Structure 1
Amino acid sequence: MNKGLLLFLLLCRVESKPCPPCLCEPLPGKLGWRIDCASVGLKEMPVLSIDILILEMQNNNLTTVLPGTLDILRKVEKVNFSNNPWNCDCSILYFKMWLEDFHKASLANVTCAGPASVKMRALSHLSGNDLKGCQKPLPISCLDFLWRDVLLIAIAVLVLILVVCTLQYSRKLANKSTKQQHSSEIPLLQIHDMEDRKSK
């Protein structure tokens, strides 16, 4: 391929701005962008580009991040999502898990604005059970418990029967060996008695 064409394509790629309606600047010495969307009143995440290295989204009106929105940020080195009114219900789990994978320190700066049960708590300290709508109680089926209990009782009875049979069999073997031992001793005693009588 022509070196001039390759250089032209590379420059076009660097010069094409991946910017949402925010302040965008190329990072010197790196093939990537710093996107500064701080304090611009955003209510939802803008469309992002793979070339973003620094993303600043603090001091906006973001309440959630749709699943998949941040997956394009494969080269990102730093993010800031602090001071947004995050709605920490079950829909925030994607955002929480993405931040956990990306950078724990960034997650610590994200604070919930609602619902009331988690207001002013750091998202990093919440589990799925704390997030409204994530706790789905499992339906209790009495029939499942009944079959499980019947199975456990049947296994216990079977084990008990096997133990009793084993004990009876071992007792029979012990009695049989004792009888054989006594029967082998009787002729010896009789011979001994006969010898005693002869000697008298």
Structure 2
Amino acid sequence: MVTWQGLLIFLFLETSYASSCPDLCTCSPSDHQPLKVDCSFRELETLPPLPKSTQELNLQHNKLESIPAGAFDNLQMLNVINLSSNPWHCDCGIWYLKNWVEDQPGDLLSSDVKCFTPPSLHQKPVSELTKELTSCSSSRKYCIDFLFIDAFLLLLMVLWFCFLIGSLMIAKRIKFKMKI
């Protein structure tokens, strides 16, 4: 005999697993083991949320132009990934993907990731981008930059506060006489 509590638990478990596989992708195996996630040939323009247990990821033949920073950082079990045949746009937005590809072992990527645009970089492997992305690294803000900005703003605030106190002290000493 099935109770309503058992039915609710079953529905909860089924729903929580179903949400782990992206909507537009297929996942196998169907148990909670490391997954093979196939999102190829889906015309994806953005990367779907991926389960942490993804072991193999196929994203080839989509419309992906870049990967958001940190998108692959939680995929610790990833053994194979295919990112080929996407129109990768090689500007500063490709920085994360370039660094992530460089950090991976040689046999992880099943094919090269190549630029599609701009035309000057067409078919150039993302891993070979160097001087093309130098403007990206120079525009980055570092913690030390924020420290100097904060120190400067704090100094301005202290000077403004001293100016206000000095103005109040001078105003207190000045007496006005009015004759009517």
Q: Quick check: TM above 0.5?
A: yes
Distance in 1, matches of 2:97 and 2:126, equals 10
Aligned to 1:16: 17
Does residue 1:34 correspond to 2:67, yes or no?
Answer: no
The structure richer in helix per residue is 1
SS of 2:56's equivalent? strand
Does residue 1:109 correspond to 2:125, yes or no?
Answer: no
Distance in 1, matches of 2:97 and 2:30, equals 26
What's the C-alpha RMSD, in Å, of the aligned pairs? 2.7
SS of 1:35's equivalent? strand
Uncovered stretches (5+) of structure 1, i.e. residues with no partner: 1-7, 138-200
Q: Is the 2:101–2:127 Cα contact (8 Å) retained in structure 1?
A: no
Q: TM-score, normalised by structure 1?
A: 0.55
Segments of 4+ moved more than 6 angstroms: none
Aligned to 1:75: 77
Identity %: 31
What pairs with 1:28-67 in structure 2 (closer than 5 Å)? 31-67=33-69
Alpha-carbon distance, 1:108 to partner = 5.7
Aligned to 2:86: 84
Q: Deviations over 1:89-143 (max 9, x none)?
A: 111111111122223352861010011221111112111x213742649xxxxxx
Q: Is the 2:55–2:80 Cα contact (8 Å) retained in structure 1?
A: yes
Higher RCO, 1 vs 2 (CA within 8 Å, ≥6 residues apart): 2
Aligned to 2:4: none
Q: Is the 1:50–1:73 Cα contact (8 Å) retained in structure 2?
A: yes
Q: Is the 2:115–2:121 Cα contact (8 Å) retained in structure 1?
A: yes
Structure 2 counterpart of 1:125, from 112, 128, 135: 128
Q: TM-score, normalised by structure 2?
A: 0.61
Uncovered stretches (5+) of structure 2, i.e. residues with no partner: 1-8, 140-180
Quick check: 59-68 or 106-115, which moved more? Answer: 106-115
Determine which structure has more spread, i.e. the larger CA radius of gyration.
1
